[in-house]
Structure 1
Amino acid sequence: MRGGQVAVPAGVPRPAGAASAPDRVRGWTPQGPLDLGLVLGPLRRGPADPTFRALPDGSVWRSCRTPAGPGTLRVTAAGGEVRGEAWGPGAEWLLEGLPDLLGAADDPSVFAPRHKLVALARHRRPGLRLTRTGLVLESLIPSVLEQKVTTDEAYRAWRLLVRKFGEPAPGPAAGGRLWVMPAPRTWALIPSWEWHRAGVDNKRASTILRAVRVAARLEEAVGMAPEAAQARLELVPGVGPWTSAETVQRSHGAPDAVTVGDLHLPGIVGWALAGDRDADDAAMLELLEPYAGQRHRAARLILLSGRTPARRAPKMPRVDIGRL
């Protein structure tokens, strides 16, 4: 899922009676093209994410723990119109935030490509917008799980923990396969052996436990500028620049929150823009300097361009601590 893209079918009409009537419905007309798979793709944590589904009828489903309670959202786009359907206590909150979720607060017109590769990637992806969920923990916790492990390990941990300690999502929930992530108190009460079974080491588990103890303060960061929000997140021991950037990219739709400390991104950016596969964070930031204010968008477009160096080293070894 490099670049945060999810394949969303063009759309097959949903059979009548295939889902229960939503609690709330909202229509919205985006300004300009909109690609649901590109906009919402970064919210999916692996192909079996229990909080996210893209279905053959062209709909994208996601479950959330909103400030008003659990909610399920179904989004479809056709003919330049978007339809949002929502279920559960969080239905109204989800539909109120639907435009921001689909990039209404984002302004891609201010982005000026400085490289041919970036310009071409933008031309080919006119429907790219940066999502803004307005929720911090739902992006922070899986980002912590992704620290220093393979994506497969992190996705497995997220899937196991959400299914075991979360709750079924309200409404039809994409065929009954969606789950709402645990509440902060539930995360705090997960026994140590369950973290171990999910393959989560003590360092990452402890970081999540520290974060959920100050969940209310972290959620307040939604009202801050992305830089200030990152600073607040990084007050939690175990949350560094990599994790805070990965969080505000989703919670705030932060166009300049470039991810530093990533194992692969500097080499990909270096190779795409300068033919330097050995670029480090400093070199990457220097190459992205012409995009100041829009560095995250530039990095996404580079990832979406598909221009990546051939692998010449073994993948990060996978270690399932649940079997140790």
Structure 2
Amino acid sequence: MPPNPDLRQTIDVAPGLDLAATLGPLRLGVSDPCWRVEASGPWWWATRTPAGPLTVHLVPGAGVVGVEAWGEGVEWLPRHLGRLLGLDADGPPAARTELVRALAQRVPGFRVAGHGRVADAAIDGICRRGVSAFEAARSWLLMVEAMGDDAPGPGGLRLPPAPRRVASCDPYELHVMGLEQGRADEVRRVASHASRLEAGTHDGGAEAIAHLAGIAGIGTDAVEHARAVALGDPDAVPVLDAHRTAAVVRALWTGAGADDTVDVRSLLEPHRPERGLLVRLIALVEAADAADDDGGLTP
């Protein structure tokens, strides 16, 4: 028998909230062992919080999301549920440009969300830098399996890497997981500062992001990724692999000739303050188009 949840509640949401579109950008690939999606629609998520480990089960309904949670981290969860479900965005994307407006209409149930875990998001971004989505997901999977723990509750998930284990590990351990010395050093630095990277509700996480940006040797792209994935900042641009970069160029590039040397950030610049939102929408719409081309099968 599954253990009874330590927390159970129902959250009112806008009708049609799309959990897959909203939560999908927060995980590192479909193999991310901290997340699981049921075919019927519910999502599972496991994380570490200042209060302790946490497993969350989110069940979509008509204008509501049922929430069940296990672990000591349940006292952390209620203050962060709004961000996790994209409710802090207070409705659909603002759509300040015509392109954002058109793409948002294709995925009306999408909300800009963030999971609130700044250190994990920064490590996620470092894993993604300069490699394919497959390689990034493999590095994260191996790190979670080696340095994480079983999550509480019945979800069968793993908790993210324990910061103390990552910070004190031999760099070679990360090398065999696919992280060369530069990225391995960055991951260890982030982990050593994990206790200072808690996103407080009083400032929206600004202090945690400022501390992350002040850590020597941490790339600005990892900081941006943390703002996007942990805080749900609609203007923060996450780290893009070659596939996502190509998708953005296809959507935005209107020049003549080859587009393989186009500066993606320059293409996104006219869309401030919704650059990160635009990136997510492009990915969602491209995935939807690919599914339609495959006869409705999810790629």
Query: Is the pair's TM-score, using the shorter chain for normalization, greater than 0.5?
Result: yes
Q: CA 1:261–1:122 in 2, change beyond 3 Å: closer, same or farther?
A: closer
How much has 1:61 moved relative to structure 2?
0.3
> CA–CA distance in 2 between the matches of 1:55 and 1:282?
35
> CA–CA distance in 2 between the matches of 1:52 and 1:281?
29
Matched residue, 1:244: 223
Matched residue, 1:234: 213
1:217-241 per-residue CA deviation (whole Å, 9 max, x = no partner) reads 2225775567776554232233222
Among candidates 80, 83, 94, match of residue 97 of structure 1: 80
How much has 1:167 moved relative to structure 2?
0.8
Contact 2:121/2:226, CA 8 A, preserved across alignment: yes
Q: Number of paired residues? A: 282
Among candidates 125, 129, 132, match of residue 143 of structure 1: 125
Q: CA 1:229–1:43 in 2, change beyond 3 Å: closer, same or farther?
A: same
Among candidates 115, 127, 140, match of residue 133 of structure 1: 115
| Residue type at the aligned position of 1:110 | A
Matched residue, 2:13: 30
1:230-254 per-residue CA deviation (whole Å, 9 max, x = no partner) reads 5542322332222111111111110
**Correspondences of 1:145-294 after superposition (within 5 Å):** 145-173=127-155, 176=156, 178-219=157-198, 224=203, 230-259=209-238, 263=242, 267-276=246-255, 277-278=259-260, 279-281=262-264, 283-286=266-269, 289=270, 291-294=271-274
TM-score, with length taken from structure 2: 0.84
1:112 aligns with 2:96: yes
Q: CA 1:283–1:267 in 2, change beyond 3 Å: closer, same or farther?
A: farther
Q: RMSD in angstroms over aligned alpha carbons?
A: 2.5
TM-score, with length taken from structure 1: 0.78
Contact 2:83/2:231, CA 8 A, preserved across alignment: no
> CA–CA distance in 2 between the matches of 1:105 and 1:142?
23
Matched residue, 2:106: 124
Contact 2:123/2:222, CA 8 A, preserved across alignment: no
Matched residue, 1:299: 279
| Residue type at the aligned position of 1:255 | P
Matched residue, 1:3: none
- State the SS of the aligned residue for 1:155: helix
Unaligned runs of 5+ in 2: 288-299
Contact 1:29/1:80, CA 8 A, preserved across alignment: yes
Contact 1:136/1:222, CA 8 A, preserved across alignment: no
- State the SS of the aligned residue for 1:99: helix
Unaligned runs of 5+ in 1: 1-16, 308-324
How much has 1:106 moved relative to structure 2?
0.8
Contact 2:46/2:158, CA 8 A, preserved across alignment: yes
Contact 1:270/1:283, CA 8 A, preserved across alignment: no
Contact 1:204/1:238, CA 8 A, preserved across alignment: no
- State the SS of the aligned residue for 2:145: helix
Q: CA 1:24–1:225 in 2, change beyond 3 Å: closer, same or farther?
A: closer
How much has 1:209 moved relative to structure 2?
1.3
> CA–CA distance in 1 between the matches of 2:135 and 2:248?
25
> CA–CA distance in 2 between the matches of 1:261 and 1:151?
9
How much has 1:109 moved relative to structure 2?
4.9
How much has 1:148 moved relative to structure 2?
1.6
- State the SS of the aligned residue for 2:76: helix
1:152-210 per-residue CA deviation (whole Å, 9 max, x = no partner) reads 1221111111112211000112xx2x111132212112233322221221111111111
> CA–CA distance in 2 between the matches of 1:284 and 1:231?
26
